[in-house]
A = this chain, B = another copy of it.
């Protein structure tokens, strides 16, 4: 890779001025950058180019790629609704090999360990690079500097933004669909591989020039709901099996049993109660992690006791959120993805369980998004620093470990709470400076650990509200000091290389931080 020119952005992070041949705009500060220009515009087609009987089914994925005019150097996208149970991206990789393609850019909404074959294709020059979250073996491959292009990590909202703004032009989108009709209408609520919604592929279906739907459950037109509209689809391919149901959604999602983590969850619920953020008509978002699930149960008990009803709960949904909806504790679930079977069933059957797309919930370069007025959000982090910056993509060893997901987008909530253990694997989580800055300090309001709650000094209102509340409010540096002592000192500073291997984008398309080569 040619040596990149690095500049300091508004938060003093070194970022490249060019990313995979395109200009990189350094982060300007939260709410400081306003894009100019017009939205991406895919090609216009005509009904005279498609079968008038509405049957777009082609014999094989290869036929579909040929119909769509696949060529060396193109960008091909997939979605990650099947998580580690996806079989379709691998079928696609096989076609790429068979067709002897070169220099493709793979643009998944997220990658998983099941996609390890992509490494083989990168080694062979078939895939040039990946833009999308990378973890496990793909994360290592990137962090070790083996990928030809830069990794580009985007939030769910940032991925919509990048597509919408024409920053990433998808030539061909491949959409694995648990249910589809021959015209290409598709959904994720029915079929063996049911995963809930398909909305991580909505931008792809809207802005890609060409769209291929792959299904193992072809139904007669119309496939309802049509989360993906056949009018955007070029070809439909029927295969035996598109995903492994046991890895797509779990039958159950597990609540933490760790006493420390249960304590954190309890403190978060207490915090929302004492600050009166929990009040009639409020809204909140919690993820699918063990702490989040426990928090939901604790909060639910408080809501029942006080007769409080939420206006909406933001999912990733689990059976715990579904129970809240069923018990009348919230008017709606606004759901970005379903994490268990109860979530899928509820989305299918309950008209108050609403699938949302990254456009609706997360897209920053638009006319607002509802993430800015969710009353409270409870998130995790791999590291937080004493200035309330946070990291979610690498650990202290500098290796890419997680995608950003909706994490950056959620930070805009009226009260953003990071619920994290103060120590993880005997390493302090509160550090002087985060390894990779993924979330800027002014958006992170509260850090809840098993050793106390730290409130961002910018949030004088929350500090005021919690005075005399009995909550264990502490200075973040006190918690850090206590933890450092337990762990026998601060974590060792990372010996990182000089070479940038990936960038972390901010929600507006600017570059927030770089990931450097290690090893």
Contacts and interface: CB of A to CB of B under 8 A. Distances in A.
A47 B409 CA distance: 12
A5 interface: no
A233 B366 CA distance: 9
Contacts of A231: 359-360, 363, 366-369
Contacts of A312: 221-222
Interface stretch (A29-37, A95-103, A238-246): A29-37
Given A46-B33, A231-B363, A354 B224 contact: yes
Interface string A29-60: 00111111111111111111111111010000
A364 B47 contact: yes
A312 B54 CA distance: 15
Interface string A342-380: 000000000110100001100111111110110000000
A412 B365 CA distance: 39
Interface string A256-280: 0000000000000000000000000
Contact of A229 (B34, B211, B220, B360): B360
A34 B52 contact: no
Nearest to A46: B34
A332 B360 CA distance: 27
Place the interface of chain A in its size category: 35 or more
Given A229-B359, A373-B221, A368 B56 contact: yes
B37 A44 contact: yes
A328 interface: no
A368 B54 contact: yes
B52 A367 contact: no
- How many copies the complex holds: the figure is 2
Contacts of A369: 47, 231
Contact of A54 (B46, B230, B373): B373
A221 B222 CA distance: 30
Contacts of A132: none
A233 B367 contact: yes
Contacts of A54: 368, 370, 372-373
Contact of A53 (B42, B47, B229, B373): B373
A461 to B, nearest CB: 15
Contacts of A481: none
A370 B34 CA distance: 40
B44 A41 contact: no
Contacts of A50: 367-368
Contacts of A49: 34, 367
Interface in A364-403: 364-370, 372-373
A234 interface: yes
Contacts of A48: 31-34
A194 interface: no
Interface in A252-302: 281
Nearest to A229: B360
Contacts of A211: 367
A372 B34 contact: no
Nearest to A35: B44
A155 interface: no
A75 interface: no
Contact of A38 (B44, B224, B234): B44
A439 interface: no
Given A47-B364, A52-B368, A52-B372, 16 more contacts: A32-B48, A37-B43, A38-B42, A40-B41, A47-B366, A47-B367, A50-B367, A50-B368, A54-B368, A54-B372, A56-B368, A183-B373, A229-B359, A231-B360, A232-B367, A234-B367
Query: Top 4 nearest A-B pairs by Cβ distance?
Result: A50-B368, A41-B41, A38-B41, A54-B373
12 contacts: A34-B48, A39-B42, A46-B366, A47-B364, A47-B368, A47-B372, A50-B367, A52-B372, A54-B373, A231-B363, A231-B368, A231-B369
